[in-house]
């Protein structure tokens, strides 16, 4: 690894790998996650050499399974982290600013995890690198999705570099492009499904819209989860300003969960009146996939976290941690349901032939589970690694505080001082404490 100068290390909050040894528990968790990821990739490579047909559960009728769900989960979370954090450090809404560094870091991490998973799904991943460039199909959503995600990752890396450098003007500029590519790439991922006119369940503009909104929901959940997790690892980095940021994010997440609940509800209701869609919807409401839908997607992904987040009032760290942790698991089920629902009804179902009278079945194989576990373990280990060696992603200097303003020690917000005012007086004015004093 390249040597980082002392001055730069101080600016980045880089504490070196020696910081890892500080806690044996954390180090062993990191080692465990790292070993899990490595083992999983060995299993994945075994699949590559024996042929995926022999080791994966996907079939001709259901060509996309757990790996695509895992990939979607990762890139959705990545896009969401980028979208939610950009409210602060791109659009300048102050309460969201303190979350930016960790969010962008995790956004890159999840993108990498997603790419490792998709690597094991593609039969010829190396051909992709060549023919994506020399033989592009501009009509293909898949091509746009892949290319835009590449650009998105590039923009994110620049954005994160400038965040580390504390060059907030450039990080805002690159962050804007990251956001642009992220939204474009992600809506294209939705369109990969939404523009399949041979698949009724997915076809329509619903998918891209749903993908963007649910990405924001996942992003909100991930930010809360990883920030609360970071506070558990190192409680010292908790300050009133970050608390305030998390409260703001939790409010946004509550709203987004409600929106996704309505999206899901209307997808079901509209599906009930369409005969072919209803077959798939029925399989998820009362059929074999009902536990995934009701317990996983609706229970763990939406309803229980909604209640817990409302109850936590954005202050109870442990409750929020449990709620969002549960939510991330639920969101995984959500992606799995989404990928499967479009495929379990055979394309010739309406032909009423014997071969396709029943719903198709898919069970993930050991290799598929291993590869997805590997991707998620990679994300987990990189999270702990980043948390430790980058000193909890803290801003070293608050350069985002505009001149003439200060960070309130009471509420954590940024207050502006009037001419000739001290910080103390400004604080009292902002919090209506002056009046109270006069009344006293």
Give the DSSP H/E element, type plus range, for residue 327.
helix 317-341
Give the DSSP H/E element, type plus range, for residue 171.
helix 168-194
In the complex with other proteins, which residue's Cβ is closer, 162 or 336? 336
Q: What are phi and psi of 407, to 5 degrees?
A: -90, 125
- Piece of the chain touching other proteins by CB under 8 A; list 1-9, 347-355, 370-378, 389-397: 347-355
Contacting other proteins (CB under 8 A), which of 112, 180, 196, 414?
Answer: 196
356 binds other proteins (CB under 8 A): yes
Contacting other proteins (CB under 8 A), which of 8, 127, 313, 435?
Answer: 127
81 binds other proteins (CB under 8 A): no
* Contacting other proteins within 306-345 (CB under 8 A): 343
Residue 235 CB coordination number (10 Å): 10
**CA-based nearest residue to 245, from 231, 232, 264:** 231
With the C-alpha atoms ordered 327, 329, 330, 332, is the resulting torsion angle positive or negative?
Answer: positive
In the complex with other proteins, which residue's Cβ is closer, 137 or 396? 137
Give the shortest CB-358-to-other proteins separation in angstroms. 14
Contacting other proteins (CB under 8 A), which of 8, 21, 22, 137?
Answer: 137
- Start-to-end C-alpha separation, the chain: 62
Contacting other proteins (CB under 8 A), which of 19, 29, 128, 405?
Answer: 128
CA–CA separation, 141 and 126 (whole Å): 20
In the complex with other proteins, which residue's Cβ is closer, 196 or 401? 196
278 binds other proteins (CB under 8 A): no
274 binds other proteins (CB under 8 A): no
3-state secondary structure of 432: coil
Contacting other proteins (CB under 8 A), which of 11, 151, 184, 199?
Answer: 199
For residue 61, give every residue at least 6 positions away whose Cβ sits within 8 Å of its Cβ, in sequence order, or none: 343, 346, 360
CA–CA separation, 101 and 396 (whole Å): 11
Q: How far is Cα of residue 69 from the mean position of the Cα atoms in its chain?
A: 13
10 binds other proteins (CB under 8 A): no
211 binds other proteins (CB under 8 A): no
Contacting other proteins (CB under 8 A), which of 32, 35, 42, 122?
Answer: 122
Tell me if 231 sits within 8 A of 318, measured CB to CB: no
Which residues of the shown chain bind other proteins in the complex (CB under 8 A)? 51, 53, 58, 60-61, 63-64, 121-125, 127-128, 131-132, 135-137, 139-143, 146, 192, 195-200, 343, 346-348, 350-356
């Amino acid at each position: 690894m390249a040597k980082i100068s002392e001055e730069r290390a101080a600016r980045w909050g880089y504490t070196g790998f020696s910081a890892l040894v500080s806690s044996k528990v954390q180090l062993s968790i990191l080692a465990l996650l790292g070993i899990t990821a490595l083992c999983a990739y060995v299993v994945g490579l075994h699949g590559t050499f024996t042929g995926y047909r022999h080791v994966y559960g996907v079939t001709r009728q259901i060509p996309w399974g757990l790996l695509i769900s895992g990939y979607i989960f990762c890139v959705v979370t990545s896009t969401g982290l980028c979208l939610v954090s950009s409210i602060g450090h791109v659009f300048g809404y102050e309460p969201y600013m303190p979350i930016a560094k960790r969010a962008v870091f995790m956004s890159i991490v999840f993108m990498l995890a997603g790419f490792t998973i998709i690597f094991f799904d593609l039969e010829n991943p190396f051909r992709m690198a060549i023919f994506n460039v020399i033989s592009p199909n501009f009509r293909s959503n898949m091509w746009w999705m892949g290319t835009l995600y590449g650009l998105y990752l590039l923009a994110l890396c620049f954005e994160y570099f400038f965040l580390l450098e504390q060059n907030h003007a450039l990080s805002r500029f690159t962050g804007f492009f990251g956001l642009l590519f992220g939204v474009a790439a992600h809506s294209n991922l939705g369109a990969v499904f939404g523009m399949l006119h041979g698949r009724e369940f997915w076809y329509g503009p619903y998918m891209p819209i749903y993908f963007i909104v649910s990405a924001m929901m996942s992003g909100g959940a991930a930010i809360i989860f990883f920030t609360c997790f970071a506070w558990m690892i190192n409680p010292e980095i908790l300050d009133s300003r970050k608390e305030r940021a998390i409260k703001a994010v939790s409010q946004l997440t509550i709203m987004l969960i409600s929106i996704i609940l309505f999206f899901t509800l209307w997808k079901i209701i509209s599906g009930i009146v369409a005969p072919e869609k209803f077959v798939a919807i029925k399989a998820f409401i009362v059929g074999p996939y009902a536990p995934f839908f009701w317990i996983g997607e609706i229970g763990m992904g939406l309803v229980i976290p909604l209640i817990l987040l409302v109850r936590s009032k954005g202050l109870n760290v442990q409750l929020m941690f449990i709620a969002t942790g549960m939510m991330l698991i639920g969101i995984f089920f959500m992606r799995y349901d989404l990928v499967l629902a479009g495929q379990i009804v055979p394309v010739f179902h309406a032909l009423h032939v014997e071969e396709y009278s029943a719903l198709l079945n898919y069970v993930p194989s050991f290799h598929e589970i291993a590869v997805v576990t590997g991707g998620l373990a990679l994300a987990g280990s990189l999270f702990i690694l980043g948390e430790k060696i980058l000193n909890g992603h803290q801003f070293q200097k608050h350069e985002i505080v505009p001149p003439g303003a200060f960070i309130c020690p009471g509420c954590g917000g940024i207050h502006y001082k009037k001419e000739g005012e001290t910080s103390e007086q400004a604080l009292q004015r902002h919090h209506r404490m002056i009046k109270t004093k006069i009344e006293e």
